[in-house]
Amino acid sequence: MLDLVDLGKRSFSAFRGIAPQEQLDEVLHLAQRLRGVRCLHLNATPYGGGVSELLRSGVPLLNDLGIVTDWKIIRGDQAFFQITKRLHNALQGAPGEFSESDKATYLAHSRLNANSLSEGDYDFIVVHDPQPAALPMIGGRKGARWVWRCHIDTSRPNPEAWEFLRPFLSSYDAAIFTLPEFIPPRFPISHVAIHSPAIDPLSPKNLPLPEELARHILEWIGVRLSRPLVTQISRFDPWKDPMGVIAAYRRVRERVPELQLAMVGSLALDDPEGWDVYREIRDATANDNLIHIFTNLVGVGNIEVNAFQALSNVVIQKSIREGFGLVVSEALWKGTPVVAGRAGGIPLQMPEGTGGILVDSVDECAEAVLHLLKHPREAHRLGEQGREHVRRHFLVPRLLLDFLHLLDSLVQEKPVEPRGLALASQPSASP
């Protein structure tokens, strides 16, 4: 059996007055048409990283809207997740070879996971990222239409990795990417939609924390707020360039000696590489009491992340490759200016400098952080503009709207049987 992720109930009407009203109206209109459709989201981890973040908010909201939605996690052992992390890296362009035994391990797990799906339970199955991508080819379509949601930058994949994955994708009916540039060469799915991810402004990570409470939370874990603070929040992953962040920070500290750096990182179930990166960061920062390293494993979770994003003078996201980078929208939503790598979906969130400064190197990063620290009024203005940009484009109702549009277009192509109608709950009061 695949593990079903338990989720609370959410009310779509709670976004009234926060997200743009026209988006809310359109979501309700489409949801009415799609009521009773049954949908499964499948991915590799229930925590750590952007995909779990999206599903944790999106799945209960879809249920509230009458789309009968489950979220399940595929199973895999250490060897499987080591291979899939290499596959993930190679699809983002890293070198990497896949032996026959690697491929056999990937296929064996895909078969086991595919066998756990029953025939006819869902109208749509949405598979996130490469880890579960082979399921419909290996186990059959189970009476559902399949959508592959690729969250990573696959514009220049390592050819060997791409040739391995590509044949599995021909069993899909549609695909979703964050940017059109991410669609890899000779892509076998003709129905492609472009959706950018979004944040949930009402989740514990993003809701407005009273400043006194936020200060208390950070002081309690040892951050001294009498000193300036810059923070990067990311999985411990080389693509997020943590060593580049440390190098840039050290350069800024030559000019702002009291500056603190917090590196807040999560270790995910499907990311065994995270431990190596974590150790590398620890070694590079040992004995420096102005650098704080925190992880989800020592209890630094959503509320702490919220407080870091709200109270840092500048949030850094120095990614080299990035699918989207939810952390950028999360920081901007709190009105905090961001210095971020010009990579993947980040410039979408900070067009023409909205919200902060885009950078291409350690030097540029150091300069941009220093500039914002020295010009707090400009930093504040950028943060406020960034917040409004996020409100219009990157809050979860807009993501639901894109998703419902895709389901609707697939239903227009071929109607679904009305089997799930009886299961759909009543949506909460209209916003």
Supply the minimum distance, in Å, between the C-beta of residue 330 and ligand UDP: 5
Q: Is 236 in the site for ligand UDP (CB under 6 A)?
A: no
3-state secondary structure (DSSP) of residue 289: coil
Strands (E), 272-355: 291-295, 314-317, 338-341
Supply the minimum distance, in Å, between the C-beta of residue 202 and ligand UDP: 14
> Of 9-17, 120-128, 259-267, 407-415, which part binds ligand UDP (CB under 6 A)?
259-267
Report residue 153 as tokens: 């930058």
Q: Is 325 in the site for ligand UDP (CB under 6 A)?
A: yes
Q: Is 379 in the site for ligand UDP (CB under 6 A)?
A: no
Q: Is 241 in the site for ligand UDP (CB under 6 A)?
A: no
User: What residue number has its CB nearest to ligand UDP?
Assistant: 50
Strands (E), 309-400: 314-317, 338-341, 356-359
Alpha helices in 256-301 (DSSP H): 274-285
Q: Which is nearer to ligand UDP, 146 or 324 (CB)?
A: 324
Supply the minimum distance, in Å, between the C-beta of residue 241 and ligand UDP: 12
Binding mask 171-210 for ligand UDP (x = CB under 6 A): ----------------------------------x-----
Q: Out of 125, 198, 223, 264, point to the residue binding ligand UDP (CB under 6 A).
A: 264
Q: Is 137 in the site for ligand UDP (CB under 6 A)?
A: no
Cα separation, 391 vs 401, in Å, equals 14
Instruction: Provide the sign of the torsion angle of the four alpha carbons 378, 380, 382, 385, taken in this order.
Output: negative
Cα separation, 331 vs 300, in Å, equals 16
Burial of residue 383, with CB atoms counted within 10 A of its CB: 0-12 exposed, 13-18 middle, 19 or more buried: buried
Q: Rounded to the nearest 5°, which phi and psi values hold at 260?
A: -105, 150
**Residues 30 to 49 in contact with ligand UDP, rule: CB under 6 A:** 49
The distance from CA 203 to its chain's CA centroid, rounded to whole angstroms, is 14
Report residue 285 as tokens: 């920062």
Q: Out of 37, 137, 327, 404, point to the residue binding ligand UDP (CB under 6 A).
A: 327
User: With CB under 6 A, what is the number of residues at the site for ligand UDP?
Assistant: 17
Q: Is 308 in the site for ligand UDP (CB under 6 A)?
A: no
Footprint on this chain of ligand UDP (rule: CB under 6 A): 49-50, 53, 205, 233-235, 264-266, 296, 305, 324-327, 330
